[in-house]
Chain A
């Protein structure tokens, strides 16, 4: 198991390294001078030359790449032209908000979709199953921003209980300086008002973000449970007189969980991408909002930083899922080990 972890960790570094180079190259080979783009058409040639020197753009390409990578190794992503602060600081400041939203969304997805998938499988081809299948299809095909807007609309018109923008009520004085996560810091500091308000703000964006994944996971859970139910060892366990509850939740679920877990991992990784839309609609002060803002301002250092951080998120999420799968199913460890 340890060897497996080391091997997976090493491949993680290779992928991240490749990712950094790739993004840097894309950002540099595109037509147009980043300094000119950043300053706009009204800047003088002198200003552009100065900024080029400051950004190191007058160096040869490989020196630039080297400087960038060595900076990256020390956690330095360069300076943001928009906020004139180090990109790393900006991103670290915005990350907790996104992390809180994404993790909360994942919890909602797990809590809703796995039981629904099991329910649909147990009551296969009855009305329960049909309703669940239609609901998950609607979840899959509804674009995140359409759902977000519909939720905002109905919240504004029918239930004012859920706020439609922001992360916490501005009138609540609270400094989340321990982890940056409002829910966690609120609990640590014993502030139920903060936790309650943060939950209310989280609800709508999280639902908008969760819907697509819920649909996918319900489908996968359902078909995995149905497939496992027809295996011999389940029949055998029943024949031994093992209680139905144990058969379903101990034996079947453990085997059937592999497929939904893989999808949840992919889903978790793509949540950060979809968060771009949802954060934008709900004015959520996270990394995606920062990303959209810097993209609109053509702030290249910040854009590279945001894409890189979301890439890290993506890769680490996939790795975590691989490790969980390895724990659940020893064959997975062996297979991965052999192929690499």
Chain B
């Protein structure tokens, strides 16, 4: 072995450099990151990127209906002549909006409950965790269907229904981590030093949960997209003419198998987004070395 390599091997990497090194050496994680970035860009810049932005609404062009994929319409057109590719771009917008809406509420709520249950123990713990267990025993899709149906189906209610069910997973995850952390010296040190409960919960314990939360959010994002699309697919989520990928698959399925692109293209778009978030989440898990 030559001298420069020896020196190189002895160079000490910081944990952050080590993590980034591990991430860039993981092709699957990189692919995931690229996919997620492309979906986010598509969602943000949909009006600029879409070849036919008017297709996002209740635009009709009956002369061009059921057109097969071509140079002009990459993914063909639907039953009223709207460009499927444009609608898919806008569909990413709706899906990501759902993800932000659901996780923006469910994650903080679930994390705080988990922290509180794990830290205080006793009756607080029993009540929170028993309630979480019952919520986890509910079949999620059936519950979400029931809630959206009772509230009348639309984007906001779908968001509410999914949020109501989603926080439980974060509560259980954080609870488990905090329970393990409670035996660590730093918690006791903070207590002895007279730190407030608030300080220990949010300045001592929470930072130790951040990497687990990050991984969980990335994996969750894909499943929220899937969940929302499943609701709309059954006609109980986002309603037309909002370009939702699940609704597009359901409507397109009526024209199968001849006009397959109307259902298959949005379906593949959902698959693409979920794949991206999954690969990214797995990559982050390896990089940050957390167990969920």
Q: Choose among A22, A145, A153 the residue with the greatest number of B CB atoms under 10 Å from its CB.
A: A145
Answer whether residue A284 sits at the interface, using C-beta atoms and an 8 A cutoff. no
Expressed in whole angstroms, the Cα–Cα distance for A150 and B257 within the complex equals 10
Identify B257's interface contact among A156, A280, A281, A306, CB under 8 A: A156
Answer whether residue B74 sits at the interface, using C-beta atoms and an 8 A cutoff. no
Answer whether residue B292 sits at the interface, using C-beta atoms and an 8 A cutoff. no
Identify A300's interface contact among B134, B143, B150, B236, CB under 8 A: B150
Q: Interface 1/0s, chain A 302-340, versus B by CB < 8 A?
A: 011011001101110010000000000000000000000
- Chain A nearest CB: distance from B290 CB in Å? 15
Answer whether residue B217 sits at the interface, using C-beta atoms and an 8 A cutoff. no
Q: Is the CB of A143 within 8 A of B229?
A: yes
- Find chain B residues with CB under 8 A from A304 CB: 146
**Which residue of chain A is the closest to B226 with respect to CB atoms?**
A143
Q: Is the CB of B267 within 8 A of A143?
A: yes
- Find chain B residues with CB under 8 A from A303 CB: 146, 149-150
Q: Is the CB of A26 within 8 A of B256?
A: no
- Find chain A residues with CB under 8 A from B246 CB: 145
- Chain B nearest CB: distance from A106 CB in Å? 16
Q: Interface 1/0s, chain A 7-47, versus B by CB < 8 A?
A: 00000000100110011001100111000010000000000
Q: Is the CB of B260 within 8 A of A153?
A: yes
- Find chain A residues with CB under 8 A from B146 CB: 23, 26-27, 295, 303-304, 306-307
Q: Is the CB of A307 within 8 A of B235?
A: no
Determine, out of B80-88, B109-117, B269-277, the stretch whose residues face the partner at the interface.
Answer: B269-277
Expressed in whole angstroms, the Cα–Cα distance for A318 and B138 within the complex equals 12
A277-307 residues with Cβ-Cβ distance < 8 A to B are 277, 280-281, 288, 291-292, 295-296, 298, 300, 303-304, 306-307
Q: Is the CB of A149 within 8 A of B134?
A: no
- Find chain A residues with CB under 8 A from B233 CB: 145, 277, 280
Determine, out of A50-58, A256-264, A267-275, the stretch whose residues face the partner at the interface.
Answer: A267-275
Decide: A156 near B134, CB < 8 A? Known: A272-B139, A296-B149.
no
Q: Is the CB of B150 within 8 A of A32?
A: yes
Expressed in whole angstroms, the Cα–Cα distance for A207 and B187 within the complex equals 49
Identify A314's interface contact among B139, B249, B263, B268, CB under 8 A: B139
Expressed in whole angstroms, the Cα–Cα distance for A140 and B151 within the complex equals 31
B201-250 residues with Cβ-Cβ distance < 8 A to A are 222, 226, 229-230, 233-236, 246, 249
Expressed in whole angstroms, the Cα–Cα distance for A137 and B130 within the complex equals 33
Decide: A149 near B249, CB < 8 A? Known: A19-B138, A143-B226, A315-B137.
yes
Expressed in whole angstroms, the Cα–Cα distance for A174 and B31 within the complex equals 52
Q: Choose among A32, A141, A303, A313 the residue with the greatest number of B CB atoms under 10 Å from its CB.
A: A141
**Which residue of chain A is the closest to B149 with respect to CB atoms?**
A295
Question: Using a Cβ–Cβ cut-off of 8 Å, how many residues does chain A contribute to the interface with B?
Answer: 51
Expressed in whole angstroms, the Cα–Cα distance for A307 and B138 within the complex equals 8
Q: Is the CB of A15 within 8 A of B137?
A: yes
Q: Is the CB of A307 within 8 A of B139?
A: yes
B118-165 residues with Cβ-Cβ distance < 8 A to A are 130, 133-135, 137-143, 145-147, 149-151
Identify A15's interface contact among B134, B257, B274, CB under 8 A: B134
**Which residue of chain A is the closest to B135 with respect to CB atoms?**
A22
Answer whether residue B60 sits at the interface, using C-beta atoms and an 8 A cutoff. no
Q: Interface 1/0s, chain A 163-177, versus B by CB < 8 A?
A: 000000000000000
Expressed in whole angstroms, the Cα–Cα distance for A292 and B250 within the complex equals 14
Q: Is the CB of B150 within 8 A of A27?
A: yes
**Which residue of chain B is the closest to A142 with respect to CB atoms?**
B271
Decide: A30 near B142, CB < 8 A? Known: A311-B137, A315-B137.
no
Answer whether residue B264 sits at the interface, using C-beta atoms and an 8 A cutoff. yes
Q: Interface 1/0s, chain A 235-274, versus B by CB < 8 A?
A: 0000000000000000000000000000000000110111
**Which residue of chain A is the closest to B225 with respect to CB atoms?**
A143
Q: Is the CB of A137 within 8 A of B133?
A: no
Q: Is the CB of A292 within 8 A of B137?
A: no
Q: Is the CB of B230 within 8 A of A144?
A: yes
Expressed in whole angstroms, the Cα–Cα distance for A204 and B135 within the complex equals 32
Q: Is the CB of B234 within 8 A of A276?
A: yes
Q: Is the CB of A307 within 8 A of B134?
A: no
Decide: A141 near B271, CB < 8 A? Known: A30-B151, A280-B234.
yes
Answer whether residue A152 sits at the interface, using C-beta atoms and an 8 A cutoff. yes
* A-B pairs with beta carbons under 8 Å apart, 23 shown: A19-B134, A19-B138, A22-B134, A26-B146, A26-B147, A27-B150, A32-B150, A150-B264, A152-B257, A153-B257, A153-B263, A157-B257, A269-B139, A273-B142, A274-B141, A276-B142, A276-B234, A277-B141, A291-B142, A296-B236, A300-B150, A304-B146, A307-B142
Q: Which 3 A-B pairs have the closest CB atoms?
A: A146-B267, A273-B141, A295-B149
Task: List 12 other contacts, CB 8 Å, given A32-B150, A156-B256, A291-B145.
Answer: A18-B134, A22-B134, A30-B147, A141-B278, A142-B271, A143-B229, A145-B229, A145-B230, A150-B267, A276-B230, A277-B230, A280-B234
Interface residues of A (CB under 8 A from B): 15, 18-19, 22-23, 26-27, 30-32, 37, 137, 140-146, 149-150, 152-153, 156-157, 269-270, 272-274, 276-277, 280-281, 288, 291-292, 295-296, 298, 300, 303-304, 306-307, 310-311, 313-315, 318
